[in-house]
Structures are given as C-alpha cells and as structure tokens.
Structure 1
Amino acid sequence: MANAFYRLRTTSAKTPQLIYVGCRFGKDQLIMSTGVKVLPKHWDFEKTKVKNVTTVINKDEINVFLHDLKVFINSTIEKYKLMREPLTKQSLKEEIEDYLNPKPAEVSETLFNYIEKFILEAENGKRLVDNVKRYNQGTIKRFRTTQTLLIDFSVVYSKPVDFDTIDLEFYKEYSLYMVNVKDYKTDTIAKHVRTLKTFLREATEEGINTNLDYQKKAFKVVLKSNEESTSIALNESELLEMCNLDLSETPKLERVRDLFIIGANTGLRFSDFTSIKPENIRKDYDGEFIEIIQYKTKRKVIVPINQTVKTILYKYNNELPKAISNQKFNDYIKEVAKLCQSLHSLEFLSYVKGGKDVKESVERWKMVSSHTARRSFASNAYERGTPVNAIMAITDHKTEKSFLLYIKTSKRKQAEIFRGYQK
C-alpha cells in the first residue's frame, strides 16, 4: 500500500486552493480535503509543501500540520498491517476524519491507542527523553517491537489487553507467552517488560492510567545476572591477527575490518566510530585525539589516538569508509573473523532460552559483531591496568558495577590483576 501524498484542487488558479491528501488502493485511491488552502504559486509541487515565502504568514504551521497528518496516515497503514486487519478506503477515511476532528475527551484512551500515539510523538519529536532530547531510531524500533509483541499476545490472552488488565496475572501469562511461544532469552524478555513499563509509567504520569500493579515487586524485569553473557571480547593478540590480515583482494571486508579495529581501539559505539570525520580529529601538546558528540547519549567524548588508529586514519586521509548498515557490518565482520585462526577456538556458553538452561559451544568468530569492538576496548584497557574511571569516561558507564559486568575478563586474568595489586 502506497504512502500518503498531497495535491491541490487546481494548480493554475489565482486564488487559494484546497490541499487534498490522498492514498492509493491498487487502481483506486482515497482523496480527502485537509481543509487548508494555499495559493498555487506558493506551493512546492515537488516537495508537496508550502514554499518558504514571507507572504505566507502561517507557512510553518501549515507544513507542520501536513507533515503530522502524513505521518499519522502512514502509521495507521502500518498499524493495520501489524494487527493483520484489512484496511479499506472507508476505514482509512474514518481514521483520518477522527484525526482531523477529534472526538470529545470523554472517550477513554486505550492502551494500544496510547502506545501508538506515544511512538508517533517519539518519532516526530513531540515526545522527548527527559524533555530534553529526541528518542533515537534504535529506541523507537524497540518501542515498535514491543508494540507488535503486545498485539500478538492480545490475540491469545483471555482478557482484553488494556490499562485495567495489566496486573500480576497478565504479567505471568505475558512472561509464559514469551518463554513458551516466542522462545525468547531472558534478556529479550527483560527488554519487553522494561519497555511496557515505560509506556505504563508515562501514561500514569499523564493521568491516563490509574492501575499501579506494574509497580509491584513481583512485576519485575528479570535480569540475567546469573547467566554467562553470550557476547565476547577479543584480546590484543586476536585483534593484532585481524589487523594483519591481507584483505586487499576483498575491499569491502578490508573496510569493515579497519572500522572494527578503530572501534576496538577507541571504545566508541558503532554509530560513532562509523561517523568519524576529519573535523573530529584534534591535536594538542600531548598528541592527537578524537572529539565527537555521541549519537546515543548526545554527550561529548574525547579519545586519545594510538598508533593503530593513526595508521588507519592516515590510510583513508582521515575520511573513514562510508558506513553500511549494522546488519551488513555484522555479516562482513564475521567473514573477517573467520579468517583469523585464533578465533576458531570454542567459547562455552550457558544461558536460559525458552525457560530452559542451554549449554553450547560456539566458535568464537561466529560471535563477533560490531559491538565486540567496544567490549574489546574496555576489557583490554582494564587488563592493562587502566584506571576504571578513565575507561568509564570513554565507555560512558554510569557505575563501576555496570562496567565490571560489561567487560569480558577471564577469571584467571582477574586473579593476575589482583595479585599485581598485592605486591
């Protein structure tokens, strides 16, 4: 189903014309008036919005209205897809009419309507994190994933899923559904429960939800503190082997390897080490460093540049290879890791999935991803004896406890580090 579009009633008139919004249904289409008029000469037919001309007093308000209406229509189409319900011209027309002419406030807000509005506002910037910054795309994607899961669960749950039914019975059945039907790991279950509680907490603060069962101790986010993490860190010899690979015959792998090595030597997240520009490279009396505003936290971080990073930056004239998607990056970096003989050793894992204890052995190269670079940086810096607070200033961990859970240092290495402090 196509996206929404705009057109004018008449394109050559000398008087203001109605702006119509439309959506195609196969060979048919729905066309509705927005109730807003504009002179054709003030209309940008290519960008389908009001031109930036001083003679149109309310151009910004009109363009914001048109943008929000288009987002609403496209999100409504997506919502029907997620709910597996057919979307007809009539039903879409009614949705748009309700949006343009909201019903009186006495109609109570449902959980699913609230979640949809919550996500839309996060997408268009009307809802901010702590009222100061926009939600990033990764977080919005997580909201959508939990929304889809809740819709799927509502089909099989014995009660309507709404604010007043989110109680301990719901929590139990929802958890069982994620374990037995979805076969989720513990951390995935925790992610969905945490996201649901985010929706409920916001709705409570806005006076929409009055059911506080989600605040009970038993309605908890189960952490995997007793499980072995299924992620790894590469030690310095493994990184050196990867760095020394001759990948000149496969440029795409060479570019991904170089970016990974940058991440493993700076501790930056994927979104940051793939966004380094020449202007991020600075110098002072101690040497060169990278200064960048982190995409996720919007906080500035300063990372010293070692010789490995300097060599790679010089190779690309400080203009690193163009970033690819995280998914593609993860596929390619596994191909690179497979070429490293040291990464063919086995990693023994123990975790809970689908409510069952799982124990398996996996070759280490299969576990390498973009995030392995950042974890490797933190773990290797810790093993070299770098003060924890100095590492945390780069990795942005808030507490030493969370940092120590994050790094991947062997029990033997931890004992060696401890022995060093006893001398």
Structure 2
Amino acid sequence: MALSLRYELRKDVVNKKSEHPLILILRVEAQRKKIPTGITLLPEYWDNENQKAIYLNKKSLKEVSKDYDLSLSPLLNDIKRINDDLQDLKKSLEDIAHRYELDNVPYSADMLVEKLKNKNNVKTKKEEKNNIVFDFIDNYVTENEPSRAKGSLSVYKALKTHLGAFEKHNRTRIRFEDINYSFFQSFQNYLIKHRGINNITIAKQLSTLKTFLGYAKMNGIKITDSYRDFKIRKQKLEVIALTNEEFETLYNLDLTKNERLAKVRDVFCFSCVTGLRYSDLAQLRREHIKATEICLTIKKTKEQLIIPINVYAESILEKYNEHLLPIPVISNQKFNDYIKELCELAEINEKIEIIRFKGAIKEATVHPKFDLISAHTGRKTFATLSLEKGIPAETVMEITGHSDYKSFQRYVKVTEERKRNEMNKAWGTPKESIK
C-alpha cells in the first residue's frame, strides 16, 4: 500500500508569538489524516523543502522578525531535538505500516493513527514513571532530610517547580544531557521574563541547580560539564542591623505596661548580644546555660558553639530565672510581626532604600527601618556591633559559627562604612577625597 508522510506548517493558525503549529500529513491510498506534532515554529525556522527545522542566531532572527521575543528563540539543541522528534514520529508510523505489511494485514490511515496513539500512551506512561531529572530532585530531598534542618531543602522543591514550568513552557522534556551552558542561559532568561522573580532569587535557583547536578554526577548520571562555565551573577544584599544607639534605645525602652512586647524585646536583644539564630533561641534550655557561657549544638550546622555570657545577656536571663525556659520564645511568625511593631514603637524609623534587579531592570523601594527588621536582624546586629566594639573578626566568627570569611566579610564592610559616617558626623565631612 502507498504510504506518504509530509510535514506542513498550518498557515491558518497562529499563536501570540506569531508561531504556526507543525502537523504531519499522512496519506494511505486516497485517505488523508492530519496528525498534530505539538510543535509550533515561526515560518523562518521551517525548511519545507528539506522537511526540517533550521537554526537561526539572534541576529538573523531580528532581521526577519523584529517583534519576536529573542529570549524565547530556540537554541541549537532545541532545533536538534525538534528534528529528532520529527524523525521519530515518521519512523514510528513507517514501522507500524511495515508491521502490517509483514503480517499481510490491509491497513488504513485511521488504523495507523490509532496504533500510534496506543504506542504513545504506553511510552508516555513509561516516561512519566522514569522522569529522571525530577525523580533525582525528589531523591536528593529524601536522602538529605534526616541531616538537614526543616525547611532548608525548600529551595530544591522550588527548583523542581520552576523546572517543571520551564519544561511546560518549552513543550519539551528536560533531560540531563541537555543541561549545559545554553540551558542555564535559557533557564535564567525564562525566570526573569516569565516567573517575575528578582536576580537574588534567580541566583539562588541557579546555584541550587549546580549543586543538584553535582549530586546527580556522583550518582553515576552523565552530566555535560559546560554548565560549570556559566557564571551566576550575585547581587550583594543590604545588611540590616541596629546601630549601637538603636540597640540601647530598644534595650532600655520602658515596656512595663506591655508584657507581650517586653518579652519580644528581651528575646530579640538576647539575639543581638549572643548572635544566636531564631532556631537556636527556640531550642535553648536551662541545661545549655552554664556559669559564664552558653554551650549549644547549633541546629543548622550541627556544630557545638560556646558563647560567653555578657552583662546584657546575663541581665535578660535573670528576668526569667523563675521560668521553665531561659527566655520566652514565641512562634517565628508572631515574633517577626511583633518585632516590627516593637521597633516602630522605639522609633527606629530611618529611611532605608532597598534595590533589587529583575534582569537589567532596577527596582528601588524605600522603607522605614522597623519594617525591615526580623528575627535574623539580631544576629546581624551582634556581628556588626561586635566588630565596631573592637572584637577581632576571627573571634566574632567563632561565636556566630561562621566558617566562611567570604560570607562574613559583608559585616566588616558595613562597619567600615559606619566608621566613616561616624567620623564625618563627629569631625565634619571632607570636601573631596585625598588622592
């Protein structure tokens, strides 16, 4: 029986990106069927004579279609994958027809299409069962849950969500062998344009993806090393910390008529003078309090820290000598809400500019300082004020548990800037820098 297979772009249908659906025209004798491929292309990407998709670089694409979003243009690997899929589709139909012929069974166009649907259903179920990229993310989370703090693996779950949306957007499955330098570039562009997240979150997602690929490689998965050349641009975050004057104001604030905020103030100030994270404040018990120090295994790093008790910490602990717990910690969510209310009451309201980027677009917002203060501000305050009071950086890192000076260095830079501001305030600002 005469079998004819030919691809065509439907000129009568176009989507919002000016792309046309590609269909396969199947002919058996006088019968004709149209089979959707699920692929859409700009006409410029389709070579009808040679029956294949072609690659255009961004310069060439801009010349033929000025309105097309260049960040969505198919990569060379995407074009190769499209052509591979088109060849597979034709071969599947040819194999089905050949099987009928070997069995001496007359077949029609409808029979070929029905057989193809059944074959694809089996294949789809198999692929869904073995969707290895997403399976590996689940495996990573499962294997690391026992040794990681609750919530610390949430970034991997977010990565899975973003990758899933990226896969759906491109209408193609993500395979390990395709995650290379170009994939990172395309994924980053997608996160900027279609997920509405800023560069800080994007950098975190891309760093997480690199960590995940390292895990997959250690588990025997073949990974293309070109992704390592992709440089992740990381924006430096503002360090929100109390000044010494703000801390003293808060510490001495009269809250005799507000027991709720008084307790929140004590817990927050305790963090400011010990450097403890909220998770460690919450796990603090009487047995951790020694005569002149706190001995505690940190929840995040699982390392034991010894923190000297200073006069401020001692004063706060003495307030709760008769209580079961050393300090009155409440839930994290309520604590973060109440600490803003407390700092507003203490008039910690300096205007702070927060700058974020979405791709190359700068977004600047101004907030009163109290609105930016959270439980973690206490730890940042301890680091910055300790450095200002002359404690060496190495000692502060020993107390806070920082093992990486690179991440700690931002506190040093903050105090240098603060020293300049205080010097200028006390002695006057110079007209120009001395060269």
TM-score (norm 1): 0.64
Query: Residue 196 of structure 2 corresponds to which residue in structure 1?
Result: 183
Query: Residue 274 of structure 1 corresponds to which residue in structure 2?
Result: 282
Gaps of 5+ in 2: 1-125, 424-435
- Separation in 1, partners of 2:311, 2:302: 27
* Partner-residue secondary structure (3-state), 1:351: strand
Between the two proteins, what is the percent identity of the paired residues?
33
Query: Residue 305 of structure 2 corresponds to which residue in structure 1?
Result: 301
C-alpha deviation, 1:315, in angstroms = 0.9
Within-5 A mapping of 1:96-175? 110-123=132-145, 125=146, 134-175=147-188
Q: Give the letter aligned to residue 181 of structure 2.
A: L
In 2 relative to 1, CA 178–326 (structure 1 residues): closer, same or farther, beyond 3 Å?
farther
Query: Residue 41 of structure 2 corresponds to which residue in structure 1?
Result: none
Choose the corresponding residue for 2:294, options 290, 295, 303. 290
- Separation in 2, partners of 1:157, 1:230: 35
* Partner-residue secondary structure (3-state), 1:139: coil
In 2 relative to 1, CA 254–348 (structure 1 residues): closer, same or farther, beyond 3 Å?
same
Within-5 A mapping of 1:40-51? none
* Partner-residue secondary structure (3-state), 1:138: coil
In 2 relative to 1, CA 109–179 (structure 1 residues): closer, same or farther, beyond 3 Å?
closer
- Separation in 1, partners of 2:370, 2:381: 14
CA contact (8 A) 2:281 2:329 kept: no
1:320 aligns with 2:326: yes
- Separation in 2, partners of 1:403, 1:378: 9
Within-5 A mapping of 1:21-420? 110-123=132-145, 125=146, 134-215=147-228, 217-218=229-230, 220-225=231-236, 229-283=237-291, 288-317=292-321, 319-341=325-347, 343-353=348-358, 355-407=360-412, 408-409=414-415, 411-414=417-420
In 2 relative to 1, CA 329–153 (structure 1 residues): closer, same or farther, beyond 3 Å?
farther
- Separation in 2, partners of 1:204, 1:412: 45
* Partner-residue secondary structure (3-state), 1:370: coil
What is the RMSD of the two structures over their aligned residues, measured on CA atoms? Answer: 2.5
In 2 relative to 1, CA 249–209 (structure 1 residues): closer, same or farther, beyond 3 Å?
farther
- Separation in 1, partners of 2:168, 2:287: 52
In 2 relative to 1, CA 406–175 (structure 1 residues): closer, same or farther, beyond 3 Å?
farther
* Partner-residue secondary structure (3-state), 2:151: helix
1:268-327 deviation per Cα after TM superposition (whole angstroms, max 9, x unaligned): 1111123221111112xxxx1111111111111111112221111111117234533323
In 2 relative to 1, CA 322–384 (structure 1 residues): closer, same or farther, beyond 3 Å?
closer
- Separation in 2, partners of 1:155, 1:406: 42
- Separation in 1, partners of 2:381, 2:140: 36
1:239-291 deviation per Cα after TM superposition (whole angstroms, max 9, x unaligned): 111122233444332222211100000011111123221111112xxxx1111
* Partner-residue secondary structure (3-state), 1:361: strand
Report how many residues are paired. 294
In 2 relative to 1, CA 109–205 (structure 1 residues): closer, same or farther, beyond 3 Å?
farther
- Separation in 2, partners of 1:337, 1:257: 9
In 2 relative to 1, CA 109–183 (structure 1 residues): closer, same or farther, beyond 3 Å?
closer
C-alpha deviation, 1:357, in angstroms = 1.4
In 2 relative to 1, CA 416–334 (structure 1 residues): closer, same or farther, beyond 3 Å?
closer
Query: Residue 10 of structure 1 corresponds to which residue in structure 2?
Result: none
Q: Which has the higher helix share?
A: 2
CA contact (8 A) 2:317 2:327 kept: no
- Separation in 2, partners of 1:119, 1:349: 33
Q: Give the letter aligned to residue 278 of structure 1.
A: R
In 2 relative to 1, CA 204–149 (structure 1 residues): closer, same or farther, beyond 3 Å?
same
In 2 relative to 1, CA 335–300 (structure 1 residues): closer, same or farther, beyond 3 Å?
same
* Partner-residue secondary structure (3-state), 1:274: helix
CA contact (8 A) 1:112 1:162 kept: no
- Separation in 2, partners of 1:193, 1:164: 17
Report which stretch shifted further, 356-365 or 321-330.
321-330
CA contact (8 A) 2:320 2:326 kept: yes
- Separation in 1, partners of 2:178, 2:222: 11
In 2 relative to 1, CA 248–150 (structure 1 residues): closer, same or farther, beyond 3 Å?
farther
- Separation in 2, partners of 1:291, 1:313: 15
* Partner-residue secondary structure (3-state), 2:152: helix
- Separation in 1, partners of 2:222, 2:262: 53
Q: Give the letter aligned to residue 147 of structure 1.
A: K
Q: Give the letter aligned to residue 144 of structure 2.
A: A
In 2 relative to 1, CA 404–336 (structure 1 residues): closer, same or farther, beyond 3 Å?
same
In 2 relative to 1, CA 369–274 (structure 1 residues): closer, same or farther, beyond 3 Å?
same
C-alpha deviation, 1:339, in angstroms = 0.7
* Partner-residue secondary structure (3-state), 1:188: helix
CA contact (8 A) 2:213 2:223 kept: no
CA contact (8 A) 1:183 1:354 kept: no
Q: Give the letter aligned to residue 141 of structure 2.
A: I
